């Protein structure tokens, strides 16, 4: 296999083709699912309201269905996040990406941050939970502590960004997060990833998943 083909295989196995815009229609979601299936991408990521549509469109395809919890602010009660997680699991989600309690993180209340993650992990019923750290809003030491809280709470991944928080994935943040939890938790780079070169740089920095709305565009023509 050529180096280019190896890169393509690596990207296909990592990309979560994403559409989280509030104005997305059911037809848009169906197109997203078809693109992910046709290009052999790892998964799709959609808002909770679209999980039933995506599940029906994907059927029994190997493409994984990811949805979000407490998105995009993370500023809802833990009980609400837990209930939302329960609903998306019942609707057919395979993985959940939750926004951590950002205000609690900024205040240094890491026990609350951890407890907030724990209730979503419990409600996920064994499905992988990714904790969105929203790196643009935190200092490096806070990012490290957020990674530790996610690990203690039983999350499977930490994730850089919602894409709605004024910043996106950077090599610095991916490397920092990988340095804290790599080998134990996965790292999802997300937010503003638009080119193949950028995605590969983030994978080389330690990302194990890439969330992007430009999934097929990152691949070379078959």
Helix (H) or strand (E) holding 106: helix 102-106
Catalytic residue among 81, 137, 143, 188: 188
Residue 216 domain-assigned (yes or no) = no
Using CA atoms, how far apart are residues 172 and 175, in angstroms rounded to an integer? 5
Closest CA to 199 of 186, 187, 215: 215
Residue 215 domain-assigned (yes or no) = no
Q: What is the pLDDT of residues 19-54, one digit of tens each?
A: 999 999 999 999 999 999 999 999 999 999 999 999
Catalytic residue among 8, 81, 94, 97: 97
DSSP 192: S
* Mean pLDDT over each residue of the chain, to the nearest integer: 97
Please check the confidence at residue 1 and state whether its pLDDT lies above 80. no
Residue 217 domain-assigned (yes or no) = no
Residue 32 domain-assigned (yes or no) = yes
DSSP-assigned beta bridge partners for residue 44: 17, 65
Residue 159 appears among annotated catalytic residues: yes
Q: What is the pLDDT of residues 131-160, one digit of tens each?
A: 999 999 999 999 999 999 999 999 999 999
Residue 188 appears among annotated catalytic residues: yes
Q: How confident is the model at residue 190 (pLDDT cuts 50, 70, 90)?
A: very high
Using CA atoms, how far apart are residues 152 and 172, in angstroms rounded to an integer? 23
CA 68 to chain centre: 8
Closest CA to 162 of 135, 181, 196: 135
Residue 220 domain-assigned (yes or no) = no
Q: Coil, strand, or helix at residue 215?
A: helix
Using CA atoms, how far apart are residues 168 and 14, in angstroms rounded to an integer? 17
Q: Can you give the residue range of the structural domain that contains 77? A: 3-210
Using CA atoms, how far apart are residues 93 and 220, in angstroms rounded to an integer? 29
Q: How confident is the model at residue 221 (pLDDT cuts 50, 70, 90)?
A: confident
Catalytic residue among 81, 137, 143, 159: 159
DSSP 48: G
**What per-residue confidence (pLDDT) applies to 61?**
84
Whether the predicted model's global pTM rises above the 0.95 cut: yes
**What per-residue confidence (pLDDT) applies to 3?**
82
Residue 134 domain-assigned (yes or no) = yes
Q: Coil, strand, or helix at residue 1?
A: coil
Structural domain count, the chain: 1
Helix (H) or strand (E) holding 159: strand 157-159
At 11, which CATH number?
Answer: 3.20.20.70
Q: Are 117 and 150 in contact (CB under 8 A)?
A: yes
Residue 67 domain-assigned (yes or no) = yes
Residue 20 domain-assigned (yes or no) = yes
**Residues with Cβ within 8 Å of residue 137, at least 6 apart in sequence:** 102, 106, 165, 166, 167
Tokens at 51, concatenated: 């999980």
């Amino acid at each position: 296999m050529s180096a280019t083909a190896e890169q393509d295989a690596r990207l296909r196995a990592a990309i979560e083709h994403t559409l989280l815009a509030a104005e997305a229609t059911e037809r848009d979601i169906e197109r997203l699912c078809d693109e992910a299936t046709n290009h052999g991408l790892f998964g799709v990521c959609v808002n909770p309201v679209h999980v039933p549509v995506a599940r029906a469109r994907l059927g029994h395809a190997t493409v994984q269905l990811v949805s979000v919890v407490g998105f995009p602010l993370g500023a809802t009660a833990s009980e609400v996040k837990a209930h939302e997680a329960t609903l998306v699991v019942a609707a057919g989600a395979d993985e959940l990406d939750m926004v951590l309690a950002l205000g609690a993180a900024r205040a240094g209340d890491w026990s609350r941050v951890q407890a907030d993650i724990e209730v979503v992990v419990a409600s996920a019923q064994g499905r992988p939970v990714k904790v969105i750290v929203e790196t643009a809003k935190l200092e490096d030491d806070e990012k490290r502590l957020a990674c530790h809280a996610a690990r203690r709470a039983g999350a499977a991944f930490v994730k850089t960004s919602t894409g709605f928080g004024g910043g996106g994935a950077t090599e610095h943040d991916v490397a920092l997060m990988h340095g804290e939890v790599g080998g134990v938790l996965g790292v999802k780079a997300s937010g503003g990833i638009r080119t193949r070169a950028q995605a590969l740089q983030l994978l080389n920095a330690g990302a194990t998943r890439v969330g992007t709305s430009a999934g097929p565009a990152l691949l070379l023509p078959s």
